[in-house]
Amino acid sequence: MSVYNFTVQKVIFPTFDLMRGTKNMKYLKILRKTQWHSPEEIKKHQQKELRRLIKTAYENVPYYHRLLRSSGLKPDDIKTIKDLEKIPPLTKKEIREHTEDLLNPELFPRTTAFYTGGTTGEPVKFYLTKDRVSWGSAADYRGMEWGGHHIGDKQVLIWGAPIDLAAHRRLSYKIKRAVARRKIFSAYDLGDDALEKIARDVLKFKPKTIKGYASALFLFARYVDSHDIKIPLKAVFSTAEKLHDFQRDFISSTFECDVFDGYGGRETSLVAYECDRHEGLHISEENVIVEVVKDGESVVEETGEIYITDLRNFSMPFIRYRVGDVSAIREELCSCGRGLSLLRGIEGRITDYLITPDGKRIHGLLFAVLTQLPEGQWMEKFQVYQSDLYHIKIFVKPKQRPTDKNLAWVKSVVQREVGESVDVEVEIVDRIPPAPSGKTQYVVSRVPPDSVGGETG
């Protein structure tokens, strides 16, 4: 550890914590130890914190008091992680409709309002205490340490929607970012002019690592590669959206370093990160309980929808929160020796699936690689948009004027998967805007996931 890193970690950041009423460094020190606890010790801790959370929610949070009573439950009925299945899940719709009733009035005066990025629709407003934010930040710092990044190392972030960037313009953020030696660039607009500026600034700044959305990192890597720019890095961290294998391989090859996948969100904070063994994503089980649910039951080694219970949020409890992502939990632990359970990796969001009239679900991964195929390299960007079961439109921003053969090919790829009963159109556009969060979506479906039954393809 360099003198600068030592000073930041042992003196400056603890001073920031003291001044701001946060506990980032204290909790990071705890998490560095607990990651090596046995799975049994970690589960014991989770169940202790779960019982405390359920008791607080029942006694202080009107929404959960009503929910548990209407389900015939009392706090003593929820003692284990398996018992969580007795509680109906929480959805974004319910959060919007019952925001005030989800708040703990005892802690609300100490909370700050936050918003989700709105990738799949209207942003969700939620509230966190500084203590809850501190646990999330500590988990993020720990996850990046697994990839070789330490507080004080130079880092570039390609990140965020306008709401993120506005917050980072505050003086307190600027000071902390300067001390931490981090620079942030918008992922919302990544045209050639913006990418040229980022590349120029990165070369001058000489970061040790880069962190950002998978799609933004991939676009930046393609720009760097096409312009024969050399940017040596220790690691690249991809978070907040699905990292496809072709993206990981290309980013790793371009920057000649390892790529580490992470998973989390504004409302859930950092949930999981890869270590250098790349056998899955270690779940931050000290802070969250992650269930993968299929047909209403929690499963292991099977793909299902992720439910998250936040063990640190007592001000606005999220219990069995349906985040809308799809993954699987591994039965085996990582060979690194950590006692934390593993996610196999995020397969995508519920809205990343096209749903056909016969109930087949087609994952967006199938289409994500279209621009990498020889027949699709005329496309710069594309998005498959499903308005209803019988209508799909493919928006394409071309690199060059497409031929009739080009258009017929991209239509045929989608048509072959969804079937002849679905009307598929191709539309050439000048721009495909990202979601409000700044993320890129290859597939957007407005069809409710449970509108039809069927298989996942």
Whether residues 275 and 366 share a domain: the answer is no
Whether residues 60 and 201 share a domain: the answer is yes
Give the domain CATH number at 204.
3.40.50.12780
Where among 255, 279, 303 does a domain terminate?
Answer: 279
Ranges of the chain whose pLDDT falls below 50: 119-121, 162, 454-457
The answer to whether residue 176 sits within a structural domain is yes
Whether residues 242 and 102 share a domain: the answer is yes
| pLDDT of res. 114 | 85
Where among 244, 260, 279 does a domain terminate?
Answer: 279
The answer to whether residue 358 sits within a structural domain is yes
Give the domain CATH number at 361.
3.30.300.30
The answer to whether residue 346 sits within a structural domain is no
The residue range of the domain holding 425 is 351-445
Whether residues 209 and 99 share a domain: the answer is yes
The answer to whether residue 408 sits within a structural domain is yes
Q: How many domains does the chain have?
A: 2
Taking the whole predicted model, whether its pTM rises above 0.85 is answered as no
404 vs 373, 380, 410, 426, 451, CA distance in Å?
A: 17, 17, 10, 11, 35
CA 241/CA 443 separation, integer angstroms:
13
The answer to whether residue 300 sits within a structural domain is no
Query: For residue 247, what are its two tokens?
Result: 């993206």
Q: Which residues pair with 292 in a beta bridge?
A: 306
Q: Which residues pair with 379 in a beta bridge?
A: 398
Burial of 401 (0-12, 13-18, 19+ CB in 10 A): exposed
| pLDDT of res. 369 | 64
| pLDDT of res. 143 | 97
| pLDDT of res. 276 | 96
In the block, tokens 């449970």 appear at 450
Q: Which amino acid, one-letter code, is at 30? A: I
The answer to whether residue 297 sits within a structural domain is no
Whether residues 118 and 267 share a domain: the answer is yes
